[in-house]
Amino acid sequence: MTDKQNNSAKNENVQYVAISSDMFQTQNNDAEIDLRELWNVIWRGKWIIIVVTAIFAVVSASYVLSLPNIYRSEALLAPTDADQNGGFTGVAGQLGGLASLAGVNLGSPKVDKIGMAIEILKSREFFAKFATKHRILPDLMAVKGWDMATNEMIYNEDIYSPNTNEWLREVSLPKLPKPSLQEAKREFDKLLLITNSAETGMITISIEHYSPETAKLWVDWLIQDINLVMKERDKDEAIRSISYLQSQISETNIVGQKTLLYQLIEEQAKTLMFAEVRDEYVFKTIDPALVPELKFKPKRALIVIIGILLGGGLSMILVFIRHFRNL
């Protein structure tokens, strides 16, 4: 390549670099101008932004101050160690061969008592008995707050009169002034939380309420009642099983079969014994429910911050819309 050609190539490269540099500088200048223009638009509309943001801040603050405190009480539970399956699973391994010879089937699947207890806790039937037994309907459906100074519920007297124990709410059919248990169950589900840890097997039961003492009391009642329900279910099943097995013993003369039936009766007797001596039948309390000292919600500061951010964002959008309409 000649010197003339080399000089020409160098000149072209220099021109390309110069053009690229000018384009980059132009883009930077345009971006700077755009940012300055946006800032000028915001600055010219600063009073709109300040006023709208202040309005949102005041409304948010007024709203959160009107909200009553909600308290959460919770208990940590563990499954009990006892075999809650009536002994059939235990004797199945030891007496499987003898059971086959005797013509008795021991292959019934093991029942997950903890899973069953949790589902019973969530059931409509359990809630109906729970609400009726402990008379929680007014504190569930008619309370609008709690007076910390007097430790008394504040009832909405347009709905319920605590003095006369009368329901006064005005509703249209099929609803009645006194809430039905189905309607109350829907409200109760909003307050109840049951979690089952897959890693530890621990169960947490929590209740939210305006009154911290009521929240703690309801958690205690739930634990007591579900243990009692599961205990009574197993006791009834064991008694029926023993009665059936005894009738089978009287009808057979086969020694091996009688031996098996006596073994099964012994296992059912163990179930009855456990049910009689254990109050914590299905759930053992590891960390009992306490009366909470601090509120669980509302998060007032967070709500106000969200209100301020929302007001600021909407006001800037309003300023930009106003600016571009005037162009």
pLDDT digits (tens, 9 = 90+) for 9-30: 445 554 544 444 544 454 544 4
Same domain, 98 and 179: yes
Half-sphere exposure at residue 265, Cβ-oriented, CA atoms within 13 angstroms: 14
> Which of 47, 60, 61, 36 has the alpha carbon at shortest distance from 316?
47
Q: Count other C-beta atoms under 10 Å from residue 265's C-beta.
A: 20
Does one domain contain both 59 and 75? Answer: no
Read off φ and ψ for residue 36, nearest 5 degrees: -65, -40
Pair 12, 85 in one domain: no
Mean pLDDT of the region 298-317 = 86
**Looking at the structure, do residues 59 and 116 belong to the same domain, yes or no?**
no
pLDDT above 70 for 78: yes
258 and 155 Cβ atoms separated by less than 8 Å: no
One domain, residues 18 and 149 = no
Q: Identify the bridge partners of residue 76 per DSSP, sorted by sequence position.
A: 204, 287
Q: Are residues 144 and 287 in the same domain?
A: yes
Nearest to 122 by CA among 203, 213, 232: 203
User: With 90 as the cut, is the pLDDT of residue 123 above it?
Assistant: yes
Contact 188, 127 (CB under 8 A): yes
Q: Looking at the structure, tell me whether residues 96 and 30 fall in a common domain.
A: no
What domain count does the chain have?
2
Print the domain residue range for 29: 3-66+302-325
Local confidence band at 107 (pLDDT 50, 70, 90 cut-offs):
very low
Find, among 264, 268, 282, 262, the residue nearest to 238 by Cα.
Answer: 268
pLDDT reading at 73 higher than 70: yes
Instruction: List Cα–Cα distances, 131 to 27, 138, 178, 182, 277, in angstroms.
Output: 71, 10, 13, 11, 27
Position 114 scores a pLDDT of 87
Q: Tell me the average pLDDT across 248-273.
A: 78
Q: Are residues 16 and 104 in the same domain?
A: no
Which residues, including other chains, have CB under 8 Å from residue 191's CB and lie 6 or more apart?
140, 207, 208, 209
The reported pTM is 0.74
Residues 46 and 133 in one domain: no
CB contact at 8 A, 201 and 78: yes
Do 147 and 46 fall into the same domain? Answer: no
Give residue 154's pLDDT: 92
If asked whether residues 190 and 259 sit together in one domain, one would say yes
Residue 188: alpha-carbon gap to chain centroid: 12
Claim to verify: residue 249 and residue 117 sit in the same structural domain: yes
pLDDT at residue number 8: 52
